[in-house]
Structure 1
Amino acid sequence: MTTTATRPSGPADNRGARARAAIAAKTLRTDRWWFPPLVTFVGLAAWVIYATVRVFMHKWYFVEDYHYLTPFYSPCLTDRCVEGAAEFGTPLPSFWLIPEAAFTLPFLLLFRLTCYYYRKAYYRAFWLSPPACAVPDAHGKYTGETRFPLIFQNIHRYAFYAAVIISLINTWDAIRAFQSPSGFGFGLGNIILVGNVVMLWLYTVSCHSCRHITGGRLKHFSKHPLRYRFWTFVSKLNTRHMELAWITLGTLALTDFYVMAVSAGWFSDLRFIG
């Protein structure tokens, strides 16, 4: 026996078919769909405020005794940099609107802003476009990422290369921090710096652009076994890209706060060696 689906009753359109049922409610979702975008809004806003304040404080970013340099000020490039913090010279003037890491911060911000996960996060949380699945967009018109300024989201693959360079610089900072006045040194600050660098590398490598670079253009994996293995590794990390995005925000803030606290003399670094 066969059954025939019936159309809902309603006014007929010009072709004689029934029109779609009019639903007055903006969404039929009854769960707390607004909670995730609210948490994202609060989390991202808090981090941006903290990072902005720290970048323009121009102090408490370097611990000379243990060579701890916060990632927010690396590399330190203005002539305002304290002695020992400027590994690459000081080509920039000390105007207060110019951050110490003026050459790297814009690229770091660009990499985060154009990240596929972060796009989803701030589109939903800040622009309500859309705020959640099965919830209408707050904007009456949708143009995607084909017009200014969102068309610049397409440069994410190039921002990835800049992020790799920045990660290398942060790695160098973590290595330099093992040098104490008496030689080799190791403290809690080293653990925090190295942990932050590891998380930054995992976030950077798990990027969709990295996955495409490693294996996206290959037609025969069998002819490129090494690239296939790395592509497989990146693909596994890619499934954790969202978690790594949030973890690195936390490790960046923690690393900066710890260096600031030690530099300001709020407490001393816990030393294990040296």
Structure 2
Amino acid sequence: MTSTATRPRGARARAAIAAKTLRTDRWWFAPLITVVGLTAWVAYATVRVYMHKWYWVEEFHYLTPFYSPCITDRCVEGSAHFGTILPDWWIIPEAAFTLPFLLLFRLTCYYYRKAYYRSFWLSPPACAVPDGHQTYSGETRFPLLGQNLHRYFFYAAVIISLINSWDAVLAFHSPQGFGFGLGNLILIANVVMLWAYTISCHSCRHIIGGRLKHFSKHPLRYRAWNGVSWLNVRHMQLAWITLGTLALTDFYVMAVAAEWFPDLRFIN
């Protein structure tokens, strides 16, 4: 029996390779696109959150998800569906209670972990490419220990999705009565995508069927688990799609509120 530490007699020595990787494809392209995409979205969202204006269209009851629920004394009349309980201080976002949980839900998401680990931290940037760090400790140290709280942030994300759904329903009832326009379509599409992303989460999949020993004894939960599993395969695509729908919804509400162009109305 030959020891793995000893080269067998007559065996050729392993070739010394100076290159960090032998990959000749554009392995760096995916991490680069991720950096550009996430940086652009965070920059846009940060600017919009601290603009403190153009988030509510009184005529059609459109409220951008970046400001929902509006809970500061700065909220314009009609936009605070749950009351104003925080002071008017510029550093406090209008949606101060929901934005931190949304951020934490996405930061601890399994897909987003892979995305920013590979792109921003180069840990590792791609398969068969060396890690950008000298040591590796995984998620065993602070602050990465907090990644294990993802399952709890999921419950907060469900509540926030319910609030966004309520906002979309209220948008059909303007001061003039029932109405329907392009803004309603955008709000509904955003809510549908947010729900798809939220329930496609691995935590949701585990809650529905993770502890079952016999699916045959729980046919309804098994059917639900299959549906969530189908969405779970598309979790990465839904993560990016919802970033796009959130930005699009916010931009449309901002544009209508700022009177850059009118809302396209179909009914009333």
Q: Which amino acid aligns with 2:128?
A: A
Match of 1:42 among 29, 36, 39: 36
Corresponding residue for residue 67 of structure 1: 61
Give 1:229-244 correspondences, 5 Å limit: 229-244=223-238
Q: What is the CA–CA distance in structure 1 between the aligned matches of 2:186 and 2:196, rounded to whole Å? A: 15
CA displacement 1:200-229 (0-9 Å, x = unmatched): 000001000000000000000011111000
Q: What is the CA–CA distance in structure 1 between the aligned matches of 2:87 and 2:14, rounded to whole Å? A: 64
Corresponding residue for residue 31 of structure 1: 25
Corresponding residue for residue 7 of structure 1: none
Q: Which runs of 5+ in 1 are unaligned?
A: 1-11
Q: What is the CA–CA distance in structure 2 between the aligned matches of 1:176 and 1:23, rounded to whole Å? A: 64
Mean Cα displacement is larger for which, 12-21 or 66-75?
12-21
Q: What is the CA–CA distance in structure 2 between the aligned matches of 1:201 and 1:13, rounded to whole Å? A: 52
Offset at 1:21? Answer: 4.0
CA displacement 1:107-162 (0-9 Å, x = unmatched): 00000000000000011111111111100000000000011010100000000000
Q: How many residue pairs get matched? A: 264
**Structure-2 change in CA distance of 1:26 and 1:179 (3 Å):** same
Q: Which amino acid aligns with 1:47?
A: W
Corresponding residue for residue 92 of structure 1: 86
Q: Which amino acid aligns with 1:64?
A: E
Corresponding residue for residue 228 of structure 1: 222
- Is 1:210 paired with 2:204? yes
Q: In structure 2, the residue corresponding to 1:272 is in which secondary structure?
A: strand
Q: What is the CA–CA distance in structure 2 between the aligned matches of 1:218 and 1:143, rounded to whole Å? A: 32
Corresponding residue for residue 251 of structure 1: 245
Q: Which amino acid aligns with 2:47?
A: V
Offset at 1:23? Answer: 1.9
Corresponding residue for residue 201 of structure 1: 195
**Structure-2 change in CA distance of 1:14 and 1:37 (3 Å):** closer
Corresponding residue for residue 4 of structure 1: none
Q: In structure 1, the residue corresponding to 2:266 is in which secondary structure?
A: strand
Q: Which amino acid aligns with 1:161?
A: Y
Corresponding residue for residue 54 of structure 1: 48
Match of 1:109 among 103, 106, 120: 103
TM value normalised by structure 1? 0.94
Match of 1:153 among 147, 151, 167: 147
Q: What is the CA–CA distance in structure 1 between the aligned matches of 2:110 and 2:7, rounded to whole Å? A: 44
Give 1:99-138 correspondences, 5 Å limit: 99-138=93-132
Give 1:73-88 correspondences, 5 Å limit: 73-88=67-82
CA displacement 1:71-112 (0-9 Å, x = unmatched): 000000000000000011100011110000000000000000
Q: Which runs of 5+ in 2 are unaligned?
A: none
CA RMSD of aligned residues (A): 1.5
Q: What is the CA–CA distance in structure 2 between the aligned matches of 1:149 and 1:207, rounded to whole Å? A: 22
Offset at 1:180? Answer: 1.9
Q: What is the CA–CA distance in structure 1 between the aligned matches of 2:31 and 2:173, rounded to whole Å? A: 43
TM value normalised by structure 2? 0.96
Corresponding residue for residue 163 of structure 1: 157
Offset at 1:22? Answer: 2.9
